[in-house]
Amino acid sequence: MASTDSPWQTIIAAALLGSERQPFQPPIAPGQLGQVLSQLCGRSTEAALLSAAATVTLHHRVGWLPETQAPDSIEPVQPDDLPRCNPLAARYLQQILQGQYSSLLSEWLEKAAQTEQRVPEMLLPALLDKGRQQRELRALILPVLGHRGRWLAAQNPDWSYAIALSTETDWETSTPAARLLYLQDLRSHDPDRARELVQATWSQETASDRVKFLETFRIGLSLADESFLESALGDRRSKEVRRVAFDLLASLPDSRLCQQITEHTCRYLSLQDGKVPALKVLLPEQLDKSLLQLGLELKPSTAVNSTLGEKAWWLLQLIGATPLSTWTEQWQMSPQAILKMTQSHEWQTVLLHGFVLAAKRQKNAEWLEVIFKRCFREPDLSREIALVGLSIEELFNMLPAASRDDLLIYLLQIAHTKIKDSLTIWLLRYSPQQWSVDLAQLVLTCLEEQISATTNFSNSDWELRATLKEFARFIPVSLIPEVMQLRIKLLDHTAWIQSIDDLLTLLQFRYEMTQSFEAGSRR
């Protein structure tokens, strides 16, 4: 039997079978092992078996030799890396990665990038994993990985997102995620070259990659992209590709598409002169072939729009792709005046949604701001429409940082929106970065007023209290003394004090975290 070839296999076979069925004979082995085994012959069959097992086991363990393999050919990491962040900053990162103050991760990463420091080795795996789970963090993670981090990422397919394509030659062979990152980067400084790359392999890409690559055109979009986008508009294989191409072309007010659509829109929307100017709306009876070819859609595509009738939906699409300057120039009216006319209009929803769509596409800050303020001022516009229908958060996000803060100040000061209003809380929390000192101070004042006035907790008080801690991300650390003052003033409001303490703790953590980067780095 093959299995009885080695002494060990002989012993195993005998042990499995049992010595009462077949008496055990110590196996024959060469050398000293054989000598020891042969001495067992005189013993009882069980004793011989167990002793043989002990002997062979030990013989094997003592004689074990490690394997030798050809050395791995991994190229080591290149030297002269960025300096590591200092141990204190590293500890803050560790705390954040372990889930404490995790909302501060992006700020930590930004600080490290600004001071040109890298993440220490021991924290790289956890950070790279974070980036794998949270796509939005990737752009922040890349600059702080250093050579070491990118080298490590190259060893693990899960982290392929972190390996930047260094040259164009990798373009065709890399993973979709890496190509996408490369493309996004290239669009930001050489959009023409990026377009040429996409064009070169366009027909071989899958539909979902075509959509993703096309989305990168939002970065550095210009009329130079027009011809390519027009060809994508004719993509026979993917509706989603056509939709993105349409959206991009509609975002270029000088595109042929916008001009053609404008001609149509003007037929349905016009100004009725009278004592009080009013908007005259005609609904299109049908969607003609040329419009369908341009990319207009017959059926509403989203749930909100589907509450509109078909014809209203067609008009909405037309207005959304018409340059807003058409109206201000043609009618010689300000955006405020035009929007005022939509108020209580029979087709208010269509008009408003159409203008919002156009303003977003054209990134027209003036219109966005006017629309935004209107949402808060008009009692006829329900919050639901503002939040869901007009996706106000997106609107808000498109505003430049300074206008955002100004708007919030406007809301709190002029529009007298309460700070505990859930929409206000929401907008305050939505800020992509720290508030301006003015806004932060105003928020603190509002908080003091609000909390001092609270006697019974209502739902919105609960919400505000639960959110308070998060405000620490947005309050400039220079205002810590003011927050401490606030705490002292509100000491009697015991229901709030814990939340204010949490806010203060987080704010202080942020302060120390920021300071830790000042302390310098270590090699």
Partner 1 sequence: MPVQWTSEQVLALAPDAASAKNGRGLATRQKWHSLGSQQSVIWGECQGSGKTPYRTQIDLSEPAFRCSCPSRKFPCKHGLGLFLLLAEQPNELIESEPPDWVAEWLTSRSQRAEKQAEKQVKRQEQAADPAAQAKRANERQRKVSAGVQELRLWLDDRVRQGLATLPQESYQVWDAIAARMVDAQAPGLARHLRELAGVAHTGAGWIDRVLERFGQLYLLIEGFERLETLPAEVQADLRSQIGWSMSQDEVRSGAAQADLWLVVGQRTEEEERLKARRTWLYGLSTNTFALLLDFAHGNQPFEQTLLPGSCLEAELVFYPSAYPLRALIKTRQEAVLLTKTPPGNLSMTTAIATYSKALAQCPWLERFPLLLQGVIPQFSGECWSIQDQEGVVLPLSQRLEPNQGWQLLALSGGYPFSIFGEWDGSTLLPLSVWAEDLYYGFH
- In the complex, the residues that contact partner 1 under the rule CB under 8 A are 8, 11-12, 15-21, 44, 46-47, 49-58, 61-72, 74-77, 87-88, 90-91, 95, 100, 121-122, 124-126, 129, 148-149, 151-152, 155-156, 505, 508, 512
Greatest Cα pair distance in the chain: 125
Q: What's the one-letter identity of residue 73?
A: S
Q: How far is the CB of 468 from partner 1 (least distance, A)?
A: 19
CA distance 186 to 190: 5
What residues have CB less than 8 Å from 330, skipping those under 6 apart? 266, 271
CA neighbor of 327 nearest in space, from 293, 364, 300: 364
What residues have CB less than 8 Å from 20, skipping those under 6 apart? none
Nearer to partner 1, 124 or 245 (CB): 124
Nearer to partner 1, 416 or 523 (CB): 523
CA distance 118 to 173: 29
Nearer to partner 1, 196 or 512 (CB): 512
Q: How far is the CB of 75 from partner 1 (least distance, A)?
A: 7
Q: How far is the CB of 506 from partner 1 (least distance, A)?
A: 11
**Adjacent-strand bridge partners of 280:** 270
CA distance 510 to 506: 6
What residues have CB less than 8 Å from 390, skipping those under 6 apart? 352, 353, 356, 371, 375
Q: How far is the CB of 34 from partner 1 (least distance, A)?
A: 17
Nearer to partner 1, 124 or 447 (CB): 124
The token pair that represents 215 in the structure block: 């989305």
Q: How far is the CB of 157 from partner 1 (least distance, A)?
A: 10
Asked if 240 contacts 271 with a C-beta cutoff of 8 angstroms, the reply is no
CA neighbor of 434 nearest in space, from 381, 488, 395, 477: 477
In Å, how far from its chain's centre is CA 501? 30
Which helix or strand (DSSP H or E) is residue 151 part of? helix 146-155
Which helix or strand (DSSP H or E) is residue 55 part of? helix 45-63
Nearer to partner 1, 120 or 335 (CB): 120
Nearer to partner 1, 154 or 308 (CB): 154
Q: How far is the CB of 10 from partner 1 (least distance, A)?
A: 12
Q: How far is the CB of 49 from partner 1 (least distance, A)?
A: 5
Asked if 433 contacts 408 with a C-beta cutoff of 8 angstroms, the reply is no
Nearer to partner 1, 132 or 212 (CB): 132
Nearer to partner 1, 95 or 328 (CB): 95
Q: How far is the CB of 74 from partner 1 (least distance, A)?
A: 5
